[in-house]
Amino acid sequence: MRFAVDAHAIGRHQTGNEVYIRSLLNAFASQTADCEFVAYVSTNAARAAIPANIQTRRVSANPFRRLGIDLTARLLQDRPDLLHVQYTAPLGCATPVVVSVHDVSFLEHPEYFTRDRAVQLRWTVRRTVRRAAKVLTGCEFSRQAILKAYSDLDERKVVVVPYAAAPEFRPLPRETAQAAVRDRFSVSGPFILNVGDLQPRKNQIGLIRAFARLVRAYPQIKHKLALAGKDTWFAGRVREAASESGVADRIHFFGFVNDDDLLRLYNACDLFVFPSFYEGFGLPALEAMACGRAVVCSSAAALPEVVDGAAILTDPCSVDEIARAMADMLLDSEMRTRMERLGLRRAAHFNWQNTAQSTLEVFHEVAERTVPAAETVGPSYLARR
């Protein structure tokens, strides 16, 4: 069978969406014995990130052209048995669709988005999940949120397929990672790390306030705070909070970082802190664990399910609680070592090969249900292969 994948996010710095589809395609590449894949990309550079045994086709980076014209035209040419998308399917799509919906924060918390973006997602995702054959999501929290948001869906249609940290995220020698961070980012000495776009739901403002409280309450703690993530419309507010914190000289903004730099940042930090208000999965917490780092994260949304006791949970609305958790981790080396060990063990439960296999099982179920029996042995099917 031939499966098509909308991979326009690759190379676009779309963070979680890009990591997901790139990791999935890499895992698919080793599981192609009975099927073939074609990936639709929006930049020529994206082709370098896709395994050689997966075909690529170019579509527009402009979402209106991509969804309104290009993908539909490509599907007519390639005649795949199924199209996989994230959130939004193309208009006029006669091909069976499987959609991955990582969360419905645009419905539950539209204040985290620009007004236009929230309205667009509300309309396009509703249209897509209703016509899709299956809806994939990463955890039970997000599955329940999807079923609540779209109450007319058959619950059997929404399937949990957990994500994973990419295999590149692994423990490295601390001294080597710290030297690389010092050379690349001009940051020396111990630091606390946060990863995520500078946007409201990531709660970087709360983290900055907690860090300032930590520094004032525990002057013996000499750590800096490093924030890795691209600017969004909200970035000015986060940078303003840093400049007004009283500890601006100890707060560093790295912007978007590639995976190589991110691997070294995870390994070089003393503590990873992720106090998000809302996560549909929370992949950065799992990546930090896979690198052997102790994690403090939010007790909200999907994070408790994902970390499952291998991190210290805090109320994201409580600056005092976040500051106290950071202090406990930094001042108690035995606790930190124990959480590092638990985190490594928890991260090992997730694997992209398993994710790809489960995803392919859904693809085959949908394709075999929608392809007429006569076609599976007819010449038109053989010609497509």
pLDDT in tens, 90-113: 998 999 999 999 999 999 999 999
Q: pLDDT tens, 287-316?
A: 999 999 999 999 999 999 999 999 999 999
pLDDT for residue 76 is more than 70: yes
* Predicted pLDDT of residue 373: 38
pLDDT for residue 239 is more than 60: yes
Q: pLDDT tens, 361-381?
A: 999 999 998 754 334 333 333
Residues of the domain holding 331: 174-347
Do both 333 and 377 map to the same domain? no
Domain count, the chain: 2
* Predicted pLDDT of residue 375: 41
pLDDT for residue 68 is more than 90: yes
φ, ψ at 188 (rounded to 5°): -115, 160
The rounded distance, in Å, linking the Cα atoms of 160 and 55 is 27
- Stretch 54-80: mean pLDDT, rounded? 95
Decide the pairing of beta strands 97-100 and 134-137: parallel
Is 79 inside any structural domain? yes
Tokens of 29: 């590449």
* Predicted pLDDT of residue 98: 98
Buried b (16+ CB within 10 A) or exposed e, 54-65: bebbebbeeeee
Do both 183 and 273 map to the same domain? yes
Do both 206 and 333 map to the same domain? yes
- Stretch 310-323: mean pLDDT, rounded? 98
With a CB cutoff of 8 Å and minimum separation 6, the contacts of 119 are: none
Helices (H) and strands (E) in the chain, counts: 16, 13
Residue 32 pLDDT level (bands cut at 50, 70, 90):
low
Do both 283 and 228 map to the same domain? yes
Do both 44 and 128 map to the same domain? yes
**For residue 124, which amino acid is it?**
T
Do both 231 and 295 map to the same domain? yes
* 2 neighbors 80 (Cβ within 8 angstroms): yes
* Predicted pLDDT of residue 384: 35
* Predicted pLDDT of residue 15: 78
Residue 16 pLDDT level (bands cut at 50, 70, 90):
confident
* Predicted pLDDT of residue 14: 66
With a CB cutoff of 8 Å and minimum separation 6, the contacts of 283 are: 16, 19, 20, 163, 165
Average pLDDT taken over every residue of the chain: 93
Do both 148 and 12 map to the same domain? yes
- Stretch 59-86: mean pLDDT, rounded? 95
- Stretch 141-154: mean pLDDT, rounded? 97
Is 152 inside any structural domain? yes
The rounded distance, in Å, linking the Cα atoms of 321 and 147 is 32
- Stretch 235-253: mean pLDDT, rounded? 98
Is 201 inside any structural domain? yes
Decide the pairing of beta strands 271-274 and 82-86: unpaired
pLDDT for residue 37 is more than 70: yes
- Stretch 131-141: mean pLDDT, rounded? 98
With a CB cutoff of 8 Å and minimum separation 6, the contacts of 22 are: 7, 10, 49, 50
Is 169 inside any structural domain? no
With a CB cutoff of 8 Å and minimum separation 6, the contacts of 82 are: 1, 3, 4, 95, 96, 97, 98, 133, 363, 366, 367, 370
Is 123 inside any structural domain? yes
Nearest to 254 by CA among 246, 371, 269: 269
Residue 385 pLDDT level (bands cut at 50, 70, 90):
very low
* Predicted pLDDT of residue 196: 96
**CATH code of residue 117:** 3.40.50.2000
Is 291 inside any structural domain? yes
Do both 126 and 273 map to the same domain? no
Residue 285 pLDDT level (bands cut at 50, 70, 90):
very high
Do both 197 and 257 map to the same domain? yes
Is 265 inside any structural domain? yes
Do both 178 and 215 map to the same domain? yes
**H-assigned helices in the chain:** 15-28, 63-65, 71-78, 105-108, 115-131, 140-149, 174-185, 204-217, 235-243, 259-268, 283-290, 303-307, 319-331, 333-347, 352-370, 379-384
Decide the pairing of beta strands 251-255 and 55-58: unpaired
Do both 144 and 27 map to the same domain? yes
Do both 189 and 272 map to the same domain? yes
This prediction has a pTM of 0.91
